[in-house]
Structure 1
Amino acid sequence: MLLVQFKSKDGARHVGILANDTLRVIDGYTTTYALAQAAIRNKQSLAALADSAAGSTTVKFADVTPLAPLGHEDPAHTYVTGTGLTHLGSADARDAMHKKIGGDVESLSDSMKMFRLGVEGGKPAAGSAGVQPEWFYKGDGSIVAASGEPLVMPDFALDGGEEPEIAGLYVIGDDGQPYRVGFAIGNEFSDHVTERQNYLYLAHSKLRACGVGPALLVGELPQHIDGVSRVLDKDGKVRWEKAFVSGEQNMSHTIANLEHHHFKYQLFKRAGDVHIHFFGTATLSFADNISVQPGETFQIEAPAFGPALSNPLAVAPTKVAQVKAL
C-alpha cells in the first residue's frame, strides 16, 4: 500500500491511498501522523485502518500538492538521522569494495574499516544485535522538503549533492515503543566537498536539507529495490543519470540492525516523536564529478515507491553568527 499526504486545490490537508495515479481519500484523518497514532492506540495495522477508513472520494495525484509523507505539527519533535557505509552497490562496485577491504585491517582507512565491520557483522540472526553502523544527525522536521519543494543549501556550503536513499519513518507510541509507519524514497543531500576535506567534517556536511516522499510504502521493504537518480539542468533535460539499488539484498546491514542501533538510545524513544532515518546509498553524482548548480533539479524514483521525488536546488544567504551575552 502507498499512502500520500497532500493538500487539495482548496488548501485542505488529506491522506489518500495511491493506486494507478489516483488517490482514494481517507475519511476522518488529515495527517499520516494522526492515522498512525490511531493505529497504534487501536492495536491495528496501519494498512487495515487506512483501508477501512478510505471513502468513495477520489482525486488524481497530478491535481494535488504532495506533502512530506510523515511529520509532527511541531518540527522540533521530528528527528532526521541516518547511517552510512551500509550499501554494497552493483556487482562491479561490490567486487571492487571487497578487494579494498581485504587483507590487513590496519592498512585500511577508518571508512573502509567501518564498511568491513558491516560486511562481517551487520546481518546478525533475528533477535540479535550486530555491529553498529556509522550514524549521523541531520536536523529536525524543519529541514524536510516535500517533492516539488527546493532543497535549500546555505551559501557557505561547498557543494550540494544528492544521495538517493530509502528512509524509514517512525512514530513513538505512548509507551515509548518505536513503530515503523513505513518507508519512503529520499534524497539525503549532503555537502560532499566539505566531507572530503576531512572525514571529521562529516557532521558538518550532513547538517543540510533533505527530500522525502511523496509516497509512503506501508509494510515490509522488498529485499531488492531498483531505482534511478537524475540531475536535470535548468531546461529540464537530463544532465546526469544513474541506476541505484537498495533493499537488504544490496546492503551490508539488515534494516532491523540499523533500527536497533538507533532506537537503543532512550533519547529516541520519547512518546509522540517522529523519526526519519536514512539507510544509506552507494550511488551519487558527486562520484562522477558532477557539481549540481542552483536551479537544477534532483529527481529520484523507484517503482516500489510510486511517483518520483523531485527537488530543485536553491541557495540561501547566511550571516556570521553572533551570540549576545545576557
Structure 2
Amino acid sequence: MTVLSTYAVGTERYFGLGPVPQPGVELLLHPLGTDELADLLPESGGDPDALTAGRKRIELTPEDRRMARPLPPLFPEHVGDALVSGFMMTHNVKVDAATPDQPTWFFKGLGDRLKLSGEPLAVPGDAVAVCEEAEIVLVYVGDATTGRPRYAGHTFGNDLTDIGRFKQHNGHLSYAKLCDAAISPSLHLGPPPTAVTGRTTIERDGSLAWEGSFTTGTDALHYDLDAITETLFSYTSLHHPGRVHYVYIGADRSSFHGGHTMTHGDRITLDFQSHAVQLTNSVTWTGR
C-alpha cells in the first residue's frame, strides 16, 4: 500500500511516497509549491507517477532529516480548515444491550488539537481519569464543488480521553473528548485495514508503569464502517469545500480498563506493530 507523508522544510512543504518512513534512513521528497495535497489526490487518483510528475525530487540524509518537520496528513494551511472528531463505543468488546444503531459522534476540536509523536498531549487541569485510545483515523476532504467529505485514506492515532468524566456522567462525553489527540504523519492510500494489532506501554519517571496489547481494525467493529460514515457525512453542516476531517473510529480496551491511573508526565507509546507505526507522547495537565 502506498503511504504519503508531508513535511515542512523551512518555509516550503514537501511530500514523500513509499513505505512508512523509519528513523535512520534517507527521505526522498517532492516539493508541493503552492499546491495542496488534498486537491492533488483526487486529480491524480492516488497514482504516484501522476502525483510526482514535474516535481524535482530532493534527498535528505538521516542527518539532514532534522530539517524536515512532519505534518499531519493533508494538513491544511489554516488550522480552522481541519476538524477532528470521532465515534465512540464502536468495537465488539464494548457492545451491550443499550448499543444504538448509529454510534455516538463527538467533536475534539480543530486542527491545532492534533499532535505528532514527540509532542505533549494536553488535557484539562480538572481531568478526572485519562486514558489512551489506539485508533485508526480516517481522513476525508470536502469536495471542491459540493463540499461533501470524500475519503482520502487513513492513518493511526491516540484519541486521549478523560474517561473518568464520562464514567461520572455519560452525558459529559463531549467534555471528556476535549483533549489533544496524537496522529501519525503517514497517510495510507487505501481502504481501512481489517486487522491492526499493537502494544501500549506507559512510562512514569523513566520506569514502566503499565503495558498491554490492543486490537482494532474493521473486523473488530460492531458497525459497518461505510454505513456509519455515510450517515455522519449526510449532514450538510459538515459539507465545506476543502475542509479536512480527521475521524477517529474507536478503540479496544485501554490502560484505564487495565487498572492504570494516568498522571501528569506519563509517557505513552502506542506501537501499531502490524503497520510499522509508533507514536510516543507525554501527557500534560493544563488549564482549560
Q: Which TM class, normalised by the smaller chain length?
A: 0.7 to 0.9
- Matched AA of 1:78: A
Aligned position for 2:232: 262
The offset of 1:151, in angstroms, is: 0.3
Q: Which residue of 2 aligns with 1:37?
A: 39
The alignment's TM-score, normalised by the length of structure 2, stands at 0.87
C-alpha RMSD of matched pairs (Å):
2.5
Say which structure is richer in helix.
1
Aligned equivalents of 1:305 and 1:50: distance in 2?
23
* Counterpart position of 2:5: 4
Residue 306 of structure 1 aligns with which residue?
A: 276
Amino acid at match of 1:70: L
C-alpha change, 1:113 and 1:49, in structure 2 (3 Å) is farther
Identity rate, percent? 23
SS in structure 1 of the partner of residue 211 of structure 2: strand
Classify 1:45/1:18 alpha carbon distance in 2 versus 1 (closer, same or farther; 3 Å).
closer
Q: 1:59: how far off?
A: 4.1
Q: What is the CA distance between 1:54 and its match in structure 2? A: 7.4
Give the superposition deviation at 1:234. 2.6
Answering whether residue 264 of structure 2 is matched by residue 272 of structure 1, we say: no
1:46: how far off? 5.6
**One-letter code of the match for 2:28?**
V
Shift of residue 177, structure 1, vs aligned partner: 3.6
**Structure with the higher fraction of residues in strand conformation:** 2
User: Aligned residue pairs: how many?
Assistant: 280
Aligned to 1:164: 134
The Cα shift of 1:294 comes to: 1.6
Do the aligned residues in 2 keep the contact of 1:191 with 1:205 (CA within 8 Å)?
Answer: yes
> Aligned partners of 2:278, 2:246: CA distance in 1, in Å?
18
Which runs of 5 or more residues in structure 2 are unaligned? none
1:3 is displaced (CA, Å) by 2.1
Which structure would you say has the larger Rg?
1
Is the Cα–Cα contact under 8 Å of residues 84 and 133 in structure 1 kept in the other structure? yes
In structure 2, relative to structure 1, the CA distance for the partners of 1:14 and 1:233 (3 Å cut) is farther
1:150 aligns to 2:120 (yes or no) = yes
The 2-side partners of 1:213 and 1:166 are apart by 10
Residue 190 of structure 1 is aligned with which of 135, 149, 161? 161
1:322 paired residue number: none
**Residue 246 (structure 1) aligns with:** 216
Change in CA separation of 1:152 and 1:83 when aligned onto 2, cut-off 3 Å:
same
Range with bigger deviation, 68-77 or 209-218: 68-77
Q: Is the 8 A contact 1:17 1:23 kept in 2?
A: no
How far residue 225 of structure 1 moved from its aligned partner, in angstroms, is 1.2
Measured in 2, the distance between the counterparts of 1:60 and 1:18 equals: 16
Distance in 2 of aligned mates of 1:208 and 1:285: 17
TM-score w.r.t. length of structure 1:
0.77
> 1:220-264: CA deviations, max 9, x gaps?
2221111222212231x4321211111111111122123112211
Q: In the alignment, what sits opposite 1:78?
A: 82
